[in-house]
Structure 1
Amino acid sequence: MTRRRQFEVAVIARASSISSTYSPGVSVTNLDDFKKHSELVGALHDQDVVISAVGSGEGMKSQRKLIDAAVDAGVRRFMSSERGFDNSVKGAQALCLPVFGAKGKVEECRG
């Protein structure tokens, strides 16, 4: 017999991301483009994991704010949007600096 786990999914979305849609029953918190650190920390309080799915441009700029807020909220795991591509390779970053270069900077912070 396998044990089935239940997860509560909560979405934190940038208010400017108005075209995004979510499944019924998913809790959605819209924040003013992650400008207020205290709001982000409050939204992440009691969360176990953050799975970042930010896009390029403003999304990538917001990811660092999201990381800092997750640390301050006591989130145990943070999965950045950099997974699936080796952003530590400078040549790979050069393929698309606005996206892969920005993601490489996040990876550098991990030290």
Structure 2
Amino acid sequence: MVIDFLPLLAILAVILGIGGWLLGWQVAYDVLVLDRPPYDPKVKYAGVGWLLWLTGWLAVPSFIGALAGEAVGNVMERRSTGSTPAQAARKLSEEEDLPRPPPSAGSGPGVGP
């Protein structure tokens, strides 16, 4: 689930926050997304620049890949069990103790074409 990724997301936010505080937000973002090298003259602290650059090069793609893998895994599990998206949503709401949405008009027992 997405909650499993929150510690990694918090670490990424702290690294970006430190970079934004020390280098400036635009420079930190540019280094994180690899638009600016960490040895650029606008990068005041090379160590922070290299940390942001490595984070953007390693951690961000792995985080995106993990989320994509989680989504594909959920789809594969749903298909292997033969459940429809509505059944999967009902199962998820039961697991999470979420309130069920009211039935839509025209649905229910005894209603037909």
Fold shared by both chains (TM-score > 0.5):
no
TM-score range relative to shorter protein: under 0.3
State the TM-score, normalized to the length of structure 2: 0.25
Higher relative strand content: 1
Higher relative contact order (CA 8 A, sep 6+): 1
Quick check: which has more Rg, 1 or 2? 2
The structure where helix makes up a greater share of residues is 2
